[in-house]
Amino acid sequence: QETQVAFGAVKADPSLPVEVTSEKLNVNQEDGSAEFLGNVIVIQGEMRLTAERVLVIYNEDRSGIERMEATEDVVLISPPDAAEGDWAEYTIDSGVIVMKGNVLLTQGPSTITGDQMDADLTAGTATMIGNVKTILQQGQN
Amino acid sequence: MDGHSRMVQFFKVVLPLVAILMLSTVFLLSRSIETNVTVPFTQQDIDKRLADQVVTQPNYRGTTRKGEEVQIEAIRASQGTEGAIPTAAEFRGRLGLSDGGVITLDSNSGLIRPDKNTATFVGDVVITSTDGTEITTDLLNTSLDEIRGDTPGQVNGTGIIGNFTAGRMTFGTEKKDGPVHIIFTDGVKLVYEPEKTER
């Protein structure tokens, strides 16, 4: 089943510059693929995506980056919400992040877990798919 | 003697005189040739050349075990005497990878050590990778018998991936006979400007 939640307070702008910092960047000279390794942090506007490995995939005419694939303890922060999962894919132009692999989304007191989360940063919404469980903390605030 | 024959007699004398006069001035008016032409090399330049045997347009060409082509050329190179090591000006390198990709290297000066199988690019080194990324640094060491190299210092790069800086850069094959990788280490910082997408 599917649950739609708001994600992130401000609507992200996909044309903002993307900043990536990491320990290493490995560029394969044969197929031209590039991969950031070692606590990689991807920042665009408010959004922060951290992971151990981020692979860069270019668009067909190799004029720019189409999407980034993050693997190994991926954490996505779009204040005030945060989500973590095994794998995430961020398509820059559309501002859509797809997260897979026991995704855990924390929103204030409540946490939602599921198999996959499609977050649209520009619309500020996220859809959790696949045995979604919501744990609502009541009462303490 | 009528007027006509007197005129002929007169011209018989005057015309040869004029001819002799013209003939003699021809040699006086000839172009003066430059006798002390200056030699294009200064004396000090000649001594320098003789001292360390300067070679012009040197060209090093080799192929690696895997058949990749390593080519290094310079405008001017001086062979090292026992004290100094061979240095070259306007250094350019071209590494032809086995899959057809080409990495070009360019720097102000450099030195080749065939005995150690290394070449070093010094000063405003520009490395252009196979996908067109341009990497600049101050010094780059490369080996002559295989596609391998590293920079001790910081590198800056621009390309389709964006503009980035890194603490150090090495390039070479990771696995034996695997593809060549350029690896930026010691901290990488990159900024990518997405094209203005029409919203």
- Quick: pLDDT tens for A98-113: 999 989 998 888 888 9
Distance CA B145, CA B154 (A): 25
pLDDT of residue B198: 40
And the tokens for B51? 């001292």
- Residue among B111, B103, B109, B108 at smallest CA distance from B134: B103
pLDDT of residue B85: 63
State residue A141's pLDDT score.
53
Model confidence pLDDT, tens digit, residues B70-129? 888 887 766 655 666 666 677 888 888 888 888 999 988 888 887 888 889 988 899 998
| ipTM given for this complex | 0.83
Residue A45 vs residue B66, higher pLDDT: A45
Q: Which residues of B touch A17 (CB under 8 A)?
A: 191-194
Q: Cβ of A133 under 8 Å from any chain B Cβ?
A: no
Residues pairing with A71 in the sheet = A53, A87
User: Domains plus CATH for chain B?
Assistant: 43-197 (2.60.450.10)
- d(CA B69, CA B89) in angstroms, rounded, equals 22
Residues 6 or more apart in contact with residue A79 via CB below 8 angstroms = A8, A9, A46
Distance between CA A134 and CA A126 in Å, rounded?
14
pLDDT greater at residue B93 or residue B59: B93
Contact between A27 and B101 using a beta-carbon 8 Å cutoff = no
Residue B118 has what pLDDT? 87
Contact at 8 Å (CB) between A116 and A102?
no
Q: Identify which of B127, B129, B157 has the alpha carbon closest to the alpha carbon of residue B141.
A: B127
Q: Can you tell me whether residue B43 is helix, strand or coil?
A: helix
Nearest chain B alpha carbon to A64: B160
pLDDT averages per 10-residue partition of chain A, 141 residues: 76 85 91 90 91 91 88 90 92 90 88 90 86 78 53
Nearest CA-CA distance, residue B184 and chain A, Å? 5
